[in-house]
């Protein structure tokens, strides 16, 4: 991993108004046309903050433009993914609080202050998009499904788990950074990790801007498979019994129905039909598998709290 650092040529014109130090991290890939302007806007609004750009082996001049604009640049030797860039940025940041934002111009730097204003009472503040702020109805439908699943698993209302624009306490996320995937589902995993561990998460409404350049690196055909993987990952990491218990009860119900259908057919109350037996075995399997998964999940978070 190659790191290039550009020192600020001009002194800071404003003191840090927050009771914490701040790092603003931009994980980018081929955003040479937009990154310079975004860094300039961020520096004008927050001259006291560390601006850290993690370039995921772009094929354009992203790293050069970012360094020229005054950011500290970490250039990865090969492309891994957006989540990997976030993990690198969180581990390398110097600030007590980290803001993650995209480098394509869709996040308004002026909203950073709104997110930071809630840090203290809340440990993570997420910029929540409206329906109009999401690219298409397919993406909106998938995100809505993940939000509902996250709300069910945590017992808290999750309004926009997939939004990548957020501020959080760095020391907390460092405990869970190993759980984050290298691809695009890091926002969901990080938010649910905070909620699962009992930290306070807030969703702050924001307006998305029109993408200034480049193109989205997510493809519709792959998103269906990625969406399925994300769902199973969320279930296994956070409160597995909330899923396995309903499935167990469903198979128990099917077993009872099959049993009484068998009784109605042959009148033998001591005979257990094969289908009833299979459903009963399936119910026990889901119960014990879910119990094991719940124990592993609890141990994972307990180990983090004790560290």
Write down the mean pLDDT value for the chain.
86
The per-residue pLDDT for range 239-259, each reduced to its tens digit, is 888 889 999 999 999 999 999
As a whole number of angstroms, the distance between CA 52 and CA 43 comes to 11
Question: Could you tell me the pLDDT band of residue 118, with boundaries at 50, 70 and 90?
Answer: very high
Average pLDDT over residues 221-249: 78
Both tokens of 242, joined, read 């909330």
Provide the CATH topology of domain 2-236.
Spore Coat Polysaccharide Biosynthesis Protein SpsA; Chain A (3.90.550)
Three-class DSSP category at 181: coil
Residue 7 pLDDT > 50, yes or no? no
**How large a percentage of the chain has pLDDT more than 90?**
60
Buried/exposed 275-303: b ≥16 CB within 10 Å, e otherwise? ebeebbebbeebbeebeebbeebeeebee
Give the 3-state secondary structure of residue 143: helix
- pLDDT for residue 116: 98
80 against 166, higher pLDDT: 166
């Amino acid at each position: 991993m190659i790191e290039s650092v550009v020192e600020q040529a001009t002194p800071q014109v404003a003191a840090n108004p927050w009771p914490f130090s701040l790092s603003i991290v931009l994980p980018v890939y081929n955003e040479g046309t937009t990154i310079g302007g975004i860094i300039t806007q961020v520096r004008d609004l927050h001259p006291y903050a560390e601006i850290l750009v993690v370039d995921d082996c772009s094929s354009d001049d992203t790293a050069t433009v970012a360094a020229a604009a005054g950011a500290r640049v970490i250039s990865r030797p090969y492309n891994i993914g957006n989540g990997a860039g976030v993990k690198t940025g969180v581990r390398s940041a110097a600030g007590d609080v980290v803001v993650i934002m995209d480098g394509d111009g869709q996040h308004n730097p002026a909203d950073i202050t709104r997110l930071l204003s809630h840090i203290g009472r809340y440990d993570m503040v997420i910029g929540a998009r409206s329906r109009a702020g999401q690219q298409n109805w397919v993406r909106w439908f998938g995100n809505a499904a993940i939000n509902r699943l996250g709300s069910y698993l945590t017992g808290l209302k999750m309004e926009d788990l997939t939004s990548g624009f957020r501020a959080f306490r760095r020391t907390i996320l460092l405990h869970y950074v190993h759980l984050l995937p290298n691809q695009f589902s890091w926002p969901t995993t990080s938010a649910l990790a905070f909620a699962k561990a009992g930290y306070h998460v807030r969703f702050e409404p924001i307006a998305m801007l029109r993408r200034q350049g480049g193109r989205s690196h997510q493809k519709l055909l792959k998103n269906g498979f990625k969406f399925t993987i994300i769902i199973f990952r969320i279930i296994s990491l956070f409160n597995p019994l909330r899923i396995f218990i309903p499935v167990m009860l469903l198979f128990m119900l099917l077993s009872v129905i099959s049993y009484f259908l068998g009784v109605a057919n042959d009148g033998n109350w001591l005979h257990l039909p094969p289908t009833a037996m299979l459903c009963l075995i399936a119910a026990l399997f889901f119960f014990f598998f879910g119990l094991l998964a719940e124990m592993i999940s609890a141990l994972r978070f307990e180990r983090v709290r004790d560290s």
